[in-house]
Chain A
Amino acid sequence: MSDLDTRDERLTPALGYREMEESVELSHIAHPESEELMTINFGPHHPATHGVLRLLATLEGETVRDIKPIIGYVHTGIEKTAEDKAYWKAIPVVERMDYLAYYFNAMSFCGAVETILDLDVPPRAQYLRVIHMELNRLMSHLVWLGTTSLDLGAISMFWYCFRDREQILDLFEMSSGQRMHTRYFQVGGVFEDIPVGWEQKVRDFTSIMPSRVDQFMALLMKNEIVLQRLRDVAPLDAQTLLDHGVTGPLLRAAGHPWDLRKAQPYSSYEHFEFKIPVGTTGDNWDRMVVRMLEMKESVRIIDQALDGLPEGPYITENRKYALPPRHELATSMEALIHHFKLVTEGFRVPPGEVYYPIESPRGEMGIFLRSDGSSKPARVHMRDPSFVNLQAFRPMVRGLYIADFIATLAMLDPVLGGIDR
């Protein structure tokens, strides 16, 4: 039998590429790969690091033996800056932290302030928040899907995902005036009611989005290459993930159905019917499917929120915390005083400490807020899911090939703006 015949036998479709790799005989190479370890620097300026993440990788041949993340390259001192701003002026600063989940950052911050103030948010504002957060979740997952596929070599997916992401950004622009970092969520509600025609545009989008997700899944989920690259790669069981503080889609892919939207509903999430997709083995393929299905559930939530959108005020009527409507300023002295107080000093918040966690696209996004009774926060600490989830990267990738380690990093979905803050 010639060499060619044996090779053909090894390339039977039943064999995964991992088995094919393992079947390659290397003993004839003079220096066995087990003889030396090599530590190489990876990043921070590398497109596959999804930002400016630097990794020190210790390799044995092509196998990753150890990994050490080095972070802080985009540390901008957001927590420190927020301490120097009045509560309502801190919202745009906080939004810029995890730049793919700005509505979640704002929600977490506003929620924490509202908890200390013991302030009720009108139902219409809660529903509008839900709609925007779920659109944001879709947008974040689309960016993740596009860049992840890019890392796997599927460049056209990137364009498809960014096409749909554009639609969402256009919706944000229409409702809040900005495409990113919209400053739409305010303490006590939202900045403005949605404009005429926005609802129809959202419905146009949600009517097409599930079929788009189906298209993505048809393109990727049954693709031979994707299956071989993702299935049974970097599995981690739920207990190890929990030990390392991992939440969100990564944890759900390992079969643990923990979702704060269901477990500790905030902002009226208990009104909506949706499912929590869970995986079984927690490998990269599960991580991909869980996020794909989450996109479909987000569409369902948006539709339900639009159907049940209550009438009423979009921001609290309590003038101590929310700006009065513009027309009142011309006729009411009281409104003018409130406006002046809010714009100059801002509102004061009673002393106290709260922790307000919500479910962001990457897991538990929590803000710890300490107030000392003044109009500026005394301490804002963000528990950013990317920062904590990064700890699980080392146990995830030890023993993998370099190519798989890139794919696993993409599956982690780190946002360096959130990690470094």
Chain B
Amino acid sequence: MPDATGLELLAQELRDADAGSVLDAIYFREQAALLVAPGAVPATLEHLRATGYRFLSSVHGVDYFPEEPRFGVHYELLDMHEVDRITVRTRVPLADPHVPSVTPAWPSADHQEREVFDMFGVIFDGHPDMRRILMPEDYEGHPQRRDFPMGGEPVLFTHNEPTTPEWWK
């Protein structure tokens, strides 16, 4: 992990390149994270790739409901040479859940960006195949959102088929 000072230096470097890109630098439990503007994600990842973080190990989606901007997308970067990790985070509001996709530059983000779209409804612009991945294609709603109810769907059996009329709709 870059230490707290190293993280600040890195954030300053990124701010020098693009003034509005880095919104915050978070250092928690010896893990470093940069909060960046949604539009600045690809450029930030490219900058970090040039400094050695060449492996994108994971993309997470988070729902900060009821806070706004509501959705978070986290990119876990790894420098295998220096054995160093850094997280790039971004936040988007429910009204405009668009993040530029990093899949063209980082093929490892493909499945996980689709998963974030599937579970939270964050749309990754420029993703080559932006479809649902885990839920059925005709599913409505994004189940990992915090306001999505738990266990709302009755399981359909032959015995309760008459009690759920027009279940096929």
Contacts and interface: CB of A to CB of B under 8 A. Distances in A.
Interface in A81-131: 81, 83-84, 115-116, 118
A387 B31 CA distance: 24
Interface in B33-63: 33, 54-58, 60-63
Interface string B91-123: 000000000000000111111100100010000
A80 B150 contact: yes
A357 B63 CA distance: 21
Contacts of A357: 57
Contact of A118 (B29, B62, B76, B108): B29
Contacts of B33: 353
Given A242-B55, A244-B108, A368 B135 contact: no
Nearest to A81: B150
A110 to B, nearest CB: 15
A383 B135 contact: no
A390 B110 CA distance: 11
Interface string B73-95: 01010001001010100000000
B144 A79 contact: yes
Contacts of A388: 58, 108, 111-112
Categorize the interface residue count of chain A: 35 or more
A412 B94 CA distance: 38
B133 interface: yes
A387 B111 contact: yes
B28 interface: yes
A71 B133 contact: yes
Nearest to B76: A355
A366 interface: yes
B136 interface: yes
Interface string A243-256: 11101000000000
Contacts of A420: 134
Contact of B60 (A264, A368, A390): A368
Contact of B143 (A80, A243, A263, A387): A80
A79 B109 CA distance: 19
A72 interface: yes
The A interface is mostly helix, strand or loop, or mixed, namely mixed
Nearest to A390: B111
Interface string B126-166: 00000011111000000110101010000000000000000
A150 to B, nearest CB: 27
Interface in A343-402: 352-355, 357, 364, 366, 368, 370, 378-379, 381, 383, 387-388, 390-391
B60 A244 contact: no
A258 B54 CA distance: 14
Contacts of A421: 134
Contact of B83 (A244, A263, A355): A263
Contacts of A72: 132-136
B107 A244 contact: yes
Contacts of A353: 28, 33, 62, 74
A366 B77 CA distance: 13
B107 A243 contact: yes
Given A258-B80, A391-B111, A71 B134 contact: yes
A305 to B, nearest CB: 23
A354 B85 CA distance: 12
B143 A115 contact: no
A368 B110 CA distance: 18
Contacts of B133: 71-72
A271 interface: no
Given A355-B85, A379-B63, A366 B57 contact: yes
Contacts of A263: 80, 83
Given A244-B108, A390-B111, A383 B62 contact: no
Contacts of A390: 111
Given A72-B133, A353-B74, A383-B57, 8 more contacts: A75-B134, A80-B148, A242-B55, A245-B56, A263-B83, A353-B62, A368-B74, A388-B111
Interface of A: 71-72, 75, 77, 79-81, 83-84, 115-116, 118, 242-245, 247, 258, 263-264, 352-355, 357, 364, 366, 368, 370, 378-379, 381, 383, 387-388, 390-391, 420-421
10 contacts: A72-B134, A75-B135, A79-B144, A83-B146, A245-B109, A352-B28, A370-B62, A383-B112, A388-B112, A390-B111
